[in-house]
Amino acid sequence: MFCITAAIILSILGIFSASNRQLAREALDCVFHRITFRPCTTGFDEKMKAKILGRVITRSERGARFLNRHFEMLAWIFFVLLLSATIFAVRGLLLFYTTGSCNGVNSTAFCVFDPTGENNQTSSLSNTEGCAVPTNFANGGALTLEGVDLSLWPVKNAGAENQIVFVGCYACDYTRKAYPQIKALVDRYGPEFYFGEYPTKLNSDYLSRVGRCVYQQDPETYWQMNDAFFAMSTAELEDPASVDQTLTNLGLDAAQIESCVSDPATETAVQQLFSEIRKTNFYGTPTIFINGEPLVGPKPYRVYAIQMEGFFYWLK
């Protein structure tokens, strides 16, 4: 097993060193003979064993004797360790590509391919400057759409084969990062798309009521409004005059919308929507369900597309 381990390591080192390339060729020749149950014709294993023992004996004679006596066993141990490390590295890379994390979907554990955790950032109760989730959330359960009445949510492409359910906040940086990716996915695949705005960072449900009224008045313009709100700064979102100007630019009657916003029936409808959003047990924004599977935090586009199309999207 020593020549197998050496072949792998020397092949990598050989990229940078000509002497290591020659050793790598000898190691590969040795591997070929070993797997065909023949001894190494180059004597590579004995030559390398002698080099290693020569270095060790200058430091510790006892260590050299131990190494000489258990050389084959230690070679097996290093081979198993190398094989295990390779398997875990390939698994982590595959999970990172398909879920955005080395440790699987929605995991916030450290990932060497995403050391900053950028793909899994999300709002939390302790994140006072992010999109803190209200303390009345029933977040003890698993993320789910079971029992959630989606008829109260704004919807696009109703009845389409695939489905995306998006819980977000207009002022949340994480939602703002994820929204363009989901919008591109919706434009490409045309799934049934539900959007539930929950003001986890804004000071009131004003924009939720505005959205309710716009959707009632013109469902198509509602989605244009969504795009516009995500392009506005937080200060503009909290300024009614800026919001009114945005609505006017979209060809809506801002005065009529404001009248609807102040209607108690609108507030009741919005609170009913919030109640349905809380039933998902979401614990941060954005939370996105693609065909029922939850993804928390802003993922790369490929992760959403894989979830939509299936695992073999990455082969394209």
- What is the residue-wise DSSP string for 211-249? HHHHHHH-HHHHHHHHHHHHHS-HHHHT-HHHHHHHHHH
This prediction has a pTM of: 0.74
pLDDT score at 107: 80
pLDDT score at 296: 92
E strand or H helix at 195, and its extent? strand 192-197
- What mean pLDDT value characterizes the chain? 81
Residues 288 and 105: their CA atoms lie apart, in Å, by 12
- Whether residue 294 has pLDDT greater than 70: yes
* Strand residues in 32-169 grouped as ranges (E): 155-156, 163-168
Task: Indicate left, alpha or beta for 83 from its phi (over 0: left) and psi (-120 to 50: alpha).
Answer: alpha
Q: What is the pLDDT of residues 20-49, one digit of tens each?
A: 666 666 666 666 555 555 666 556 666 666
pLDDT score at 134: 44
- Whether residue 136 has pLDDT greater than 50: no
Q: Which two tokens stand for residue 155?
A: 């919807």
In DSSP terms, 288 is beta-bridged to 166, 295
pLDDT level of residue 310 (50, 70, 90 thresholds): confident
pLDDT score at 108: 79
Q: Which residue has the higher pLDDT, 26 or 297?
A: 297
- Whether residue 198 has pLDDT greater than 70: yes
Residues 84 and 135: their CA atoms lie apart, in Å, by 43
- Whether residue 316 has pLDDT greater than 50: no
Average pLDDT over residues 138-145: 72
pLDDT level of residue 64 (50, 70, 90 thresholds): confident
Q: Which residue has the higher pLDDT, 120 or 302?
A: 302
- Whether residue 151 has pLDDT greater than 60: yes
Sheet containing 155-156, strands listed edge to edge, beginning at the edge strand earlier in sequence: 155-156, 192-197, 163-168, 287-290, 293-296
pLDDT score at 4: 57
Average pLDDT over residues 270-278: 95
Burial class (CB in 10 A: 0-12, 13-18, 19+), 238: middle
E strand or H helix at 206, and its extent? helix 206-217
Average pLDDT over residues 113-123: 72
Average pLDDT over residues 173-184: 94
Average pLDDT over residues 243-250: 95
Residue type, 128: T
All domains of the chain in start order, with CATH: 2-69 (no CATH), 122-301 (3.40.30.10)
